[in-house]
Structure 1
Amino acid sequence: MATLSVISFELVELSGHVVAKGTWSAALRANCLYQCAHLAKPGRRCRLLQGSREITPITPLAALDLSLGTCIQVVWLSSSIAVGHSQGHAFVAIKEDGRVVTWGDAGCGGDSSAVAPLLTGVVQVCGNAKAFAAIKGDGSVVTWGNACVGGDSSAVAPLLTEGVVQVCGNANAFAAIKADGSVVTWGDAGSGGDSSAVAPLLTEGVVQVCGSFQAFTAIKADGSVVTWGSARCGGDSSAVAPLLTEGVVQVCGTFQAFTAIKADGSVVTWGNASSGGDSSSVAPLLSGGIVQVSGNASVFAAIKDDGSVVTWGDAGYGGDSSAVAPLLSEGVVQVCGNANAFAAIKADGSVVTWGNASFGGDSSAVAPLLTEGVVQVCGTVRAFAAIKADGRVVTWGDAGCGGDSSAVAPLLTKGVVQVCGNIRAFTAIKEDGSVVTWGSSRCGGDSSAVAPLLTEGVVQVC
């Protein structure tokens, strides 16, 4: 157990790249490390590992075993946006020199030629259903894609010229956090692009933003929560407002609902009842000990501090996990959702799946490959891809949505360090900086048009 007053850590990706490093008070919880990781890759969710131990946002830094070292492994996960409903139809790759390469559906951001001269010095990219927003090293933002859903940010352009540290997208809008903790929104007004109703609450102190399909939730430094956008998608949290005034450390969204984890490990839910907004059926299991929540379109899955999983929402899409309950009673360290199914990674590297079988809830076809060694799982709308510790990739689910990777199988046998999914295709980054794509051609599964630009130097894909 650490007895120091301050502790220094390095946050390191699977590839060996140092995401961040610094010194923190031992009195803090690991939420400070998650915030640092989120600043490095805005809009991305992650796991933090110390050796084989999962570090959750509420883990006290003083509880970490420094005999294992001060290197914290960062495993990037799929977006916190409701998977399968707000994922895009194109991909963006950032290269180590800050240049950007785009491909996929041209009208949804796959064609960035209109802003090409501005896409230098890019450090992070965030996408919604049909547009992208890139943060540059100087804190300015460049947008492209469908104008109506955020591809055109001219209405707030003066506010996006400097100081932006994070951008989050839902289906049809974007929200940017600035260094002073204020928030700027644009895109479809009814989806949260217009935040004027809560503007006084978004002028300072915001540290994280999460999206559902058409709403946003912001966490402030004091642990309070602000919501806006479509009421039917969780934009109205008035029914639980007294529970969201302090102590919130993480928020996750489904299609039409949100779940907040508080510092005491309890959970607060709101939004559409059938999409997970009503957790009363499992309330006794959510009163404490929750360390992570993931969502698919209509269901939430919460991991408890004993490694067990609690699910609620639409029964047919994973809300009922009774068929695999014995496998989810302990040892779970990550859960990933696509539209209607889930995949859980256990501490021994095995994978458990449930939900709609045709969406990847049934992984029996690749079961022998999922018994050990899995370190990351990512989803498209109807399929999953798992990275193993040796850099291999295993896929299952709907073949047309990336569940069948046989066409590129020889390229996925080793060296993969990250996989990203959009609505119907996957992109894998290899340790040499090259990229492999598969799935729907229209959605970016075919990257042949830009292949010469993807042979080296890629450091992030969105």
Structure 2
Amino acid sequence: MGGDSSAVASLLTEGVVQIVATDAAFAAIKDDGSVVTWGQWNRGGDSTAIATLLAEGVAQVCGNTGAFAARKSNGSVVTWGDAFFRFFLLAVAPLLATGVVHICATSVNAFAAFKANGSLVTWGSKFFGGDSSKVAPLLTEGVAQVCGTNTACAALLIDGSVVTWGNDEEGGDSSQVATLLTEGVVEVYNNYHAFVALKADGSVVSWGETSWTHWYTKHLSDVVQVCGAGGAFAAIRSGGSVVTWGDDWGGDSSEVAALLIEGVVQICGGEMAFAAIKADGSVVSWGDSRFGGDSSAVASLLTEG
């Protein structure tokens, strides 16, 4: 699953500036613009078929569960890994030959590319947000951000509106809150199953799996940051307090509630747990202990600094 890099060890002794991964392979970008891969061959570990394209000029690499995508300095995109993803790339390949300025994995089985003209190009399984053809006219310019749940995507436009596509149940269908997403959104956040949009006035709008999510968040105000983890969200309010909601693995912060009343400046979400940094340099964690929710073993090291 990528743990053995001995076959390419001589290429990894110096010059590596970044490493990214799929679920069973790794790719290392070197300072000369080349890429070295290892791990399971059909998950991106074997890049020999496109080795000449990865020998120089690579500016960025990202991975989803089974494939990698590389952006080159000439604005083109190269992909390798699971043939499943390469098949879906064929339809948009001409759009990825030039002008790409950033790429990202939007869900477990999809990618997106930002172009210099402000448009967004997507590829991957239509069941996982890879097919944005239904909203394509809305993605031809002004795209500022894109993020994804497991099976759906949301794009924030520079006019403050939000466009969604993919699996309806996990956020692809935002019609129930559409009137709230036409303007004023400054950032969109996600967990595995739902989205939350933060608006300029500090309010939040949510949609996706779990119908109660929108009911809960419509009562929130003065929010400055939101973070997602698994099936839960955590929001920092302007006074430094934290509000959480969602499943028990992160949505329930009652055991550390007294520590989240004030002073929180940042939250990070893992798979089923959260960690919050406070202004005094201490850290508070909660959620599933198997995924980092219990930091008691190192608590003495997290009290400051």
Band the TM-score falls in, shorter-chain normalisation: over 0.9
Residue by residue over 1:308-364, the C-alpha shift from the partner in whole angstroms, topping out at 9 and shown as x without a partner, is 111010111110000010110011121112111111111222211100017xx7143
Out of 167, 172, 176, the position equivalent to 1:314 is 167
Taking a change above 3 Å as real, the CA distance of residues 221 and 441 of structure 1, as seen in their structure-2 partners, is: same
Report what 2:34 is aligned to: 182
Contact (CA 8 Å) 2:204, 2:217: kept in 1 or not?
Answer: no
Deviation at 1:281, TM superposition (A): 1.1
TM-aligned CA deviation for residue 384 of structure 1: 1.1
Contact map agreement 2:198 2:223 (CA 8 A) in 1: no
Match of residue 372 from structure 1: 222
1:267 pairs, out of 90, 106, 120, with 120
Contact 2:203 2:218 in 1 (8 A): no
1:283 to 131, 136, 161: 136
Contact 1:269 1:278 in 2 (8 A): yes
CA–CA separation in structure 2 for the residues paired with 1:248 and 1:157: 31
Residue of 176, 194, 206 corresponding to 1:353: 206
427-436 or 378-387: which moved more? 427-436
Deviations 1:35-60 (A, max 9, x none): xxxxxxxxxxxxxxxxxxxxxxxxxx
The CA distance in 2 between the partners of 1:412 and 1:159, in whole Å, is 46
Q: Which residue of 1 aligns with 2:101?
A: 249
SS at match of 1:199: helix
Confirm or deny that 1:394 pairs with 2:246: no
Change (3 A) 1:317 1:366: closer
For structure 2, list consecutive stretches of 5 or more residues without a partner in the other structure: none
Verify the 8 A CA contact 1:215 1:235 in the aligned structure 2: no
- Offset of residue 236 of structure 1: 5.8
Q: Is the 8 A contact 1:427 1:445 kept in 2?
A: yes
CA distance change for structure 1 residues 441 and 184 in 2, over 3 Å: closer, same or farther? same
Quick one: distance in 1 between partners of 2:202 and 2:3?
39
Q: 1:297 aligns with which of 147, 150, 170?
A: 150
Q: 1:258 Cα shift?
A: 1.3
For residue 25 of structure 2, the aligned residue among 151, 166, 173 is 173
Q: Given the alignment of the two structures, is residue 435 of structure 1 paired with residue 283 of structure 2, yes or no?
A: yes
Report the equivalent of 1:362: 213
- 3-state SS in 1 of match to 2:291: helix
* Alpha-carbon distance change, 426 to 165 in structure 1, aligned in 2, over 3 angstroms: same
Distance in 1, Cα, partners of 2:102 & 2:92? 16
SS at match of 1:357: coil
Deviations 1:377-399 (A, max 9, x none): 22111111122343322211101
- The 1-side partners of 2:257 and 2:173 are apart by 33
Instruction: Report the alpha carbon displacement of residue 412 of structure 1 after superposing the two structures with TM.
Output: 1.6
Aligned 8 A contact 1:230 1:236 in 2: no
State the 1:250 CA deviation: 2.4
1:373–1:443 distance in 2 versus 1, CA, 3 Å: closer
TM-score with structure 2 length normalisation?
Answer: 0.92
The answer to whether the 8 A contact 2:205-2:218 is kept is no
CA distance in 1, matches of 2:221, 2:232: 18
**1:298, CA displacement in angstroms?**
0.9
| TM-score, length-scaled by structure 1 | 0.62
* CA apart distance, 1:244: 0.3
1: CA distance, partners of 2:79 / 2:114? 15
SS of residue matched to 1:306:
coil
Asked if residue 411 in structure 1 is aligned to residue 262 in structure 2, the reply is no
Counterpart of 1:329? 182
Please say which of residues 162-171 and 271-280 is displaced more in the overlay.
Answer: 162-171
Aligned to 1:209: 61
Question: Which secondary structure state, in structure 2, belongs to the residue aligned with residue 427 of structure 1?
Answer: strand
Structure 1 residue 157 displacement after superposition = 2.9
Query: Structure 1 residues 205 and 183, CA, compared in 2 at 3 Å: closer, same or farther?
Result: same
Aligned to 1:432, what secondary structure does the other structure show? coil
Summarize deviations over 1:245-267 as a string: whole Å, max 9, x none: 11112223212111212111122
Number of residue-to-residue matches in the alignment = 304
CA separation of 1:387/1:152 partners in 2, compared to 1, >3 Å: closer, same or farther? farther
How far the C-alpha of 1:225 sits from its partner, in A, is 0.8
CA apart distance, 1:446: 0.9
Alpha-carbon offset, residue 232 of structure 1: 2.4
Pick closer, same or farther for the CA change 1:236–1:444 going to 2, 3 Å.
same
> Secondary structure of the residue that 2:271 maps to in structure 1?
coil
C-alpha offsets along residues 146-194 of structure 1, whole Å, 9 cap, x if unaligned?
Answer: xx2x344333333333222222223232222222222222333221122
Contact 1:228 1:235 in 2 (8 A): no
Question: 1:354 and 1:190, CA in 2 relative to 1: closer, same or farther beyond 3 A?
Answer: same
Q: Measure how far apart 1:367 and its partner are.
A: 4.0
The residue type paired with residue 146 of structure 2 is: V
> Does 2:162 align with 1:162?
no
1:362 is paired with a residue whose SS is helix
Q: Where do residues 15-54 of structure 1 align in structure 2 (5 Å cutoff)? A: none
Q: How many Å apart are 1:234 and its aligned residue?
A: 5.6
